[in-house]
């Protein structure tokens, strides 16, 4: 096989292979191991020299499907509780396929008015879903990390402007370090975004009341008073170990009082706004200046998907700006060009799976899913509390349950090692998937429940497997 032009009629055949594999694969997900290490031998089939003579579309797709459906991590299934990993709803998967089928370049309105219009619509729907004002600006990003880059680039532009510098044109040279203040709940991705923006990852200062990381508002206020100039506050809705949130209203009050910028990381936690049971956790976010949310977590859209929202809709254009090339549109183009509002240039039509899933399930559907996850998490919290060999380490407030295995007779100093070995055993076992983290100096499990497929029976199996493997490791 040589030139793909010779295969122009093979595309449908190759796609049909994927379509035919989809049904049995998706049907098998609830019963599969999350990861079957015995299948890793198949990975060798991906390897080898660059083909001189190609095998053709059908042969390539066949091989990739066979290896992928066996040796892939089946995190789209209901029992992947590690990190915070969402699945993909039926509508979102299909919407994602359409994205590839149509292969839209969605950075410029001129390349695809369809993709630009879809992005505008989903950004408006998402603002409505999260209770953010319609007047805010926004852009779709590949991840929450890149949404931080988008939002914090606006913060940096605003901050440098206060110092009389156009940072987009001139950079940071000659400016002092940008003060960034948060609680101990701050996620590492915020530091990475600051690093990418040239602000340095270690310039961020945290103010915590205790080893949980909980915000020390008084200490933060004292620091702000001492800084005496423009600063950036980072509020966190949904911390990765416990799901807890910073109090956003008091942070917004502080930002107002000291003229600071308030950035909120609601990567998964912003979905608390969907249920009256948890809406208090996100209360006040509408008073922030920039907000980050993930699509590939609790919205259950395939990777990669994130959203950046900015109060002053004129700022993203100034922070990222026009290209200044004759063949590209100007900043004052009559149409929106999303690649001028964020860090990317060429980009896929990221809006399509989001449009498909929001159209399919609506606000009601997402609220029902979020509330089911709240129930599943609360149920797990109850099982942990009722079990003398398990220790709940933080109240269950959202979709993350922080606990450790603590069987009678095992001394405190052995518990970290025992739980680390239990976490490794869970990942190797594959019936359920959850690794460890460190919380208040302890090695802990912190399963996160954000996959649309997950139900109470999945979490009950999780507890059974934890007890079984825990007993093995302790014995
Ligand atoms: C996952 C997560 C991020 C980073 O998200 P990516 O999409 O992986 O870049 C940021 N903040 C919080 C709280 C998260 O859970």
Q: Is 119 in the pocket of ligand 1 (CB under 6 A)?
A: no
Residue 321: the pLDDT is 83
Residue 136 has pLDDT above 70, yes or no: yes
The rounded Å distance from CA 240 to ligand 1 centre is 9
Residue 323 has pLDDT above 80, yes or no: yes
Domain for residue 212, yes or no?
yes
The rounded Å distance from CA 294 to ligand 1 centre is 7
Model pTM score: 0.98
Q: Is 238 in the pocket of ligand 1 (CB under 6 A)?
A: yes
Please write down the HEC assignment for all residues of the chain: CCCHHHHCCCHHHHHHHHHHHHHHHHHHHHHCCCCCHHHHHHHHHHCCCCCCCCCCHHHHHHHHHHHHHHHCCCCCCCCECCCCCCCCCHHHHHHHHHHHHHCCCCCCCCCCHHHHHHHHHHHHHHHHHHCCCCCCEEEEECCHHHHHHHHHHHHHHHHHHHCCCCHHHHCCCCCCCCCEEECCCCCHHHHHHHHHCCCCHHHEEECECCCCCCECHHHHHHHHHHHCCCCEEEEEECCCCCCCECCHHHHHHHHHHHCCEEEEECCCHHHHHHCCCCHHHHCCHHHCCEEEEECCCCCCCCCCCEEEEECCCCHHHHHCCCCCCCCCCCCCCCCCCHHHCCCCCCCCCCHHHHHHHHHHHHHHHHHHHHHHHHHHHHHHHHHHHCCCCEEECCCCCCCECCEEECCCCCCHHHHHHHHHHHHHHHHHHCCCECCEEEECCEEEECCECCCCCCCHHHHHHHHHHHHHHHHHHHC
Residue whose CA is at the smallest distance from ligand 1 atom 13:
267
Residue 219 has pLDDT above 90, yes or no: yes
Angle between helices 248-258 and 217-227 (to 10 degrees): 20
Half-sphere exposure of 413 (CA within 13 A, CB side): 0
Question: Is pLDDT larger for residue 289 or for residue 330?
Answer: 289
Residue 198 has pLDDT above 70, yes or no: yes
Residue 8: the pLDDT is 85
Q: Is 145 in the pocket of ligand 1 (CB under 6 A)?
A: yes
The rounded Å distance from CA 218 to ligand 1 centre is 27
430 and 336 in a common domain: no
Q: Edge-to-edge, what's the strand order for the sheet holding 442-445?
A: 390-392, 403-405, 442-445, 436-439
372 and 313 in a common domain: no
Contact indicator for 433, 80 with CB cutoff of 8 Å: yes
* b/e burial code for range 316-347 (CB count within 10 A of at least 16 → b): bbbbbeebeeeebbeeeeeebbbbbbbbbeeb
Q: Is 187 in the pocket of ligand 1 (CB under 6 A)?
A: yes
Q: Is 305 in the pocket of ligand 1 (CB under 6 A)?
A: no
Q: Is 293 in the pocket of ligand 1 (CB under 6 A)?
A: no
Q: Is 266 in the pocket of ligand 1 (CB under 6 A)?
A: no
Give the integer Cα–Cα distance in Å for 449 and 296. Answer: 13
> Per residue in 431-457, pLDDT tens?
999 999 999 999 999 999 999 999 999
Contact indicator for 88, 75 with CB cutoff of 8 Å: no
- C-alpha 366 chain-centroid distance: 17
Terminal Cα distance for the chain, rounded? 58
Mean pLDDT within 310-326 = 94
Q: Is 299 in the pocket of ligand 1 (CB under 6 A)?
A: no
> Per residue in 148-179, pLDDT tens?
999 999 999 999 999 999 999 999 999 999 99
Residue 427: the pLDDT is 97
Q: Is 290 in the pocket of ligand 1 (CB under 6 A)?
A: no
Q: Is 141 in the pocket of ligand 1 (CB under 6 A)?
A: no
The rounded Å distance from CA 7 to ligand 1 centre is 41
pLDDT band at 352 (very low <50, low <70, confident <90, very high): very high
387 and 292 in a common domain: no
The rounded Å distance from CA 417 to ligand 1 centre is 27
Long-range contacts of residues 56-61, Cβ cutoff 8 Å, at least 24 apart: 56/1, 56/7, 56/10, 57/4, 57/7, 57/10, 57/11, 57/13, 57/14, 58/10, 58/13, 58/14, 58/17, 60/14, 61/14, 61/17, 61/18
Residue whose CA is at the smallest distance from ligand 1 atom 12:
267
Domain for residue 340, yes or no?
yes
The rounded Å distance from CA 473 to ligand 1 centre is 32
CATH of residue 152:
3.40.640.10
378 and 239 in a common domain: no
422 and 379 in a common domain: yes
161 and 244 in a common domain: yes
Residue 322 has pLDDT above 90, yes or no: no
Domain for residue 86, yes or no?
no
354 and 365 in a common domain: no
Q: Is 244 in the pocket of ligand 1 (CB under 6 A)?
A: no
Domain for residue 249, yes or no?
yes
- For ligand 1, pick from 75, 151, 186, 240 the residue to mutate: most ligand atoms within 8 Å of CB: 240
pLDDT band at 381 (very low <50, low <70, confident <90, very high): very high
The rounded Å distance from CA 457 to ligand 1 centre is 27
Q: Which one of 358, 387, 409 terminates a domain?
A: 358
pLDDT band at 123 (very low <50, low <70, confident <90, very high): very high
The rounded Å distance from CA 141 to ligand 1 centre is 12
Residue 1: the pLDDT is 62
Q: Is 306 in the pocket of ligand 1 (CB under 6 A)?
A: yes
Q: Is 242 in the pocket of ligand 1 (CB under 6 A)?
A: no
| Mean pLDDT, the chain, integer | 97
- C-alpha 309 chain-centroid distance: 14
Residue 319 has pLDDT above 80, yes or no: yes
156 and 255 in a common domain: yes
Q: Which one of 340, 358, 376 terminates a domain?
A: 358
Residue whose CA is at the smallest distance from ligand 1 atom 5:
144
The total domain count for the chain is 3
Domain span holding position 450 = 361-474
Domain for residue 122, yes or no?
yes
CATH of residue 458:
3.90.1150.170
Q: Is 189 in the pocket of ligand 1 (CB under 6 A)?
A: yes
The rounded Å distance from CA 261 to ligand 1 centre is 20
């Amino acid at each position: 096989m040589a030139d793909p032009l010779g295969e122009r009629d093979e595309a449908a055949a190759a796609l049909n292979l994927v379509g035919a594999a989809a049904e049995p694969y998706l049907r098998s997900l609830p019963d599969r191991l999350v990861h079957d290490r015995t299948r890793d031998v198949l990975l060798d089939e991906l390897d080898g020299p660059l083909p001189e003579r190609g095998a053709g579309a059908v042969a390539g797709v066949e091989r990739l499907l066979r290896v992928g459906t066996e040796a892939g991590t089946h995190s789209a299934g209901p029992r992947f509780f590690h990190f915070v990993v969402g699945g993909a709803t039926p509508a979102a998967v299909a919407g994602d396929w359409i994205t590839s089928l149509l292969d839209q370049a969605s950075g410029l309105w001129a390349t695809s008015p369809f993709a630009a219009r879809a992005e505008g619509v989903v950004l408006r729907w998402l603002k409505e879903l999260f209770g953010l004002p319609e007047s805010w600006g926004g852009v779709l990003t590949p991840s929450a990390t890149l949404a931080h880059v988008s939002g914090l680039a606006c913060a940096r532009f605003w901050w440098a402007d206060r110092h009389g510098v156009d940072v987009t044109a001139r950079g940071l040279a000659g400016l002092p370090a940008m003060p960034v203040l948060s609680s101990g709940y701050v996620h590492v991705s915020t530091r990475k975004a600051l690093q990418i923006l040239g602000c340095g990852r270690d310039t961020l200062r945290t103010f915590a009341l205790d080893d949980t990381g909980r915000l020390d508002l008084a200490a933060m206020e004292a620091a702000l008073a001492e800084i005496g100039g423009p600063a950036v506050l980072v509020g966190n809705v949904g911390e990765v170990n416990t799901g807890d949130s910073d109090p956003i209203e008091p942070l917004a009050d502080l930002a107002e009082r000291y003229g600071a910028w308030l950035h909120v990381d609601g990567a998964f936690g912003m979905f608390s706004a969907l249920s009256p049971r948890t809406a208090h956790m996100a209360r006040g976010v509408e008073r922030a200046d920039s907000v980050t949310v993930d699509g590939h977590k609790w919205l259950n859209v395939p990777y990669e998907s994130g959203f950046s929202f900015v109060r002053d809709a004129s700022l993203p254009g100034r922070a990222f700006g026009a290209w200044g090339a004759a063949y590209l549109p100007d900043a004052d183009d009559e149409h929106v060009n999303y690649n001028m509002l964020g860090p990317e240039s060429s980009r896929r039509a990221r809006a399509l799976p989001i449009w498909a899933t929001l159209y399919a399930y609506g606000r009601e559907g997402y609220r029902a899913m979020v509330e089911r996850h709240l129930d599943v998490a609360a149920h797990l919290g109850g099982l942990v509390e009722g079990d003398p060999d398990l220790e709940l380490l933080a109240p269950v407030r959202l979709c993350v349950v922080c606990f450790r295995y603590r069987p009678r007779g095992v001394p405190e100093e052995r518990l970290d090692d025992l739980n680390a070995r239990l976490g490794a055993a869970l990942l190797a076992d594959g019936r359920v998937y959850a690794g460890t983290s460190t919380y208040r100096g302890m090695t802990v499990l912190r399963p996160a429940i954000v996959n649309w497929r997950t139900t109470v029976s999945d979490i009950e199996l999780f507890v059974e497997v934890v007890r079984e493997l825990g007993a093995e490791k302790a014995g």
